[in-house]
Amino acid sequence: MGAGPLERDEAKLRKDLAVWYTPIEVVKYMVARVDAELRNRRGVEYGLSDQLSISWSHTCGTGAYLVPVPRQVAAALAKKGTDDLASQDLKKVG
């Protein structure tokens, strides 16, 4: 079944307005991949949760990375055994 008129209109409108978004599944994969890259190939022991790591969202309009990055950091902190410091460290991420 092809795209209905609303879907075609939405696609045209997004193209006309240059509105694009990254699907959440892709965002989660990219965040996990960057974290793994930092840890395994760049020698950053704590990946995205390292205090020297800086993350930014190139999708400022949708803020797609603003939730997955802190979640990745929280998971890393919990794994590291520093749950008590997680809220303080997460504030530094934002």
Which residue bears the tokens 């930014």? 56
pLDDT tens digits for range 19-74:
677 788 988 999 899 999 998 999 888 888 887 777 666 656 677 777 888 888 88
Asked whether residue 67 is assigned to any structural domain, the reply reads yes
Q: Alpha-carbon distance 40 to 37, whole Å?
A: 5
Q: In which domain, by residue range, is 36 found?
A: 22-93
Q: Alpha-carbon distance 23 to 46, whole Å?
A: 26
Length of the chain measured in residues:
94
Domain count, the chain: 1
pLDDT of residue 59: 58
Asked whether residue 2 is assigned to any structural domain, the reply reads no
